[in-house]
Amino acid sequence: MNRNNSISTDFTILTDGSSIIFEDSSAEKQTRQDNRARQTLPSTGTIVQACFQKESAQDKTGLAIGSNKADQVVITKIVPNSIVFQQAQELQPGMQLLSINGVTLTTVTDGVSPLQKAAQLLMGASGNIMVVALVPPTMRRQRRLGGGNHKVYKVLKWGLCLRDATNSQGKPIVVIHRLEYHAATHKELSAGMIIRRINSGTCAHMNASKIAKLLEDQRGGQCKITVEKPATGKTTNVVLGHRDTHNFRFRTSNWHRYF
């Protein structure tokens, strides 16, 4: 499979009601698709393109998506060793999906929300799938865990993955390694941020293991964390929702699991 980031012109996808039709592409059709996509591109952030392949419509891509308060389609999870994980390493949780196979995901069309549109495309498509995504300005590109000697502590109920690190003075700190599920939709959060407080309680002198345990022991549907951006030293309070609370939103089509 060709792993470069160029737009494939082997086919195009047209939507006709609930059906998805594959047909040969022409340069003219591709140009029209690109022009439509550019009209809805945001003015800030970095655009990335990725391509992956499904042998059949029944295959799972390993991509989980959700929608934030602005009704934007956001990647919330990428399953390790899945199709997307192996073939589309440009994609990361927290990125906004702008289009799939030339179909834009930034507007409501005929009563179909961007999230519903994305779900239909991911479930119904087979063959090469071309994705255009936005890296928000507040999001730092996350490197996937691939070896290394640091251990990552996952607190899935809050969508946080933490690890130990050191700051520029060599002092130990705990940083966000990766964001998943609903946490990935918070624009205020990004990988590399330092965990400072949990529900107004300080995390000073705690390692990643202790902070993960503290987060796991939190009760209720919400948890407030204070994070610091290393580059500026600015702190921000973010209220996270419990994963079980968000399961209700999955049933109301605001969130989707894996496709």
Amino acid at 136: P
Mean pLDDT of the chain: 73
Q: Are 195 and 155 in contact, with CB atoms under 8 Å apart?
A: no
Nearest CA to 98 out of 90, 106, 86, 87 is that of 106
Question: Distance between CA 100 and CA 91 in Å, rounded?
Answer: 13
Q: Is the pTM of this model over 0.75?
A: no
Helix (H) or strand (E) holding 110: none
β-bridge mates for residue 238, sequence order: 225
Burial bucket for residue 91 (CB in 10 Å: 0-12, 13-18, 19+) = buried
CATH (one of 3.30.70.2860, 3.40.50.10490, 2.30.42.10, 1.10.10.10) for 152-244: 2.30.42.10
For residue 36, CA distances in Å to 39, 41, 108, 222 come to 5, 9, 14, 40
Where does the chain hold its CATH 2.30.42.10 domain(s)? Answer: 12-137, 152-244
CATH (one of 3.90.1310.10, 2.30.42.10, 3.40.640.10, 1.20.140.160) for 12-137: 2.30.42.10
Comparing 90-94, 108-112, 192-196, the range with the smallest average pLDDT is: 108-112
Nearest CA to 212 out of 195, 231, 232 is that of 195
**Mean pLDDT (whole number) for 196-220:** 89
Dig out the tokens for 155 from the structure: 């607190």
Dig out the tokens for 70 from the structure: 């602005």
Considering only residues 81 and 116, tell me which one the structure prediction assigns the higher pLDDT.
Answer: 116
**Mean pLDDT (whole number) for 175-204:** 85
Question: Distance between CA 182 and CA 250 in Å, rounded?
Answer: 11
- Give the percent of the chain with pLDDT over 90: 11
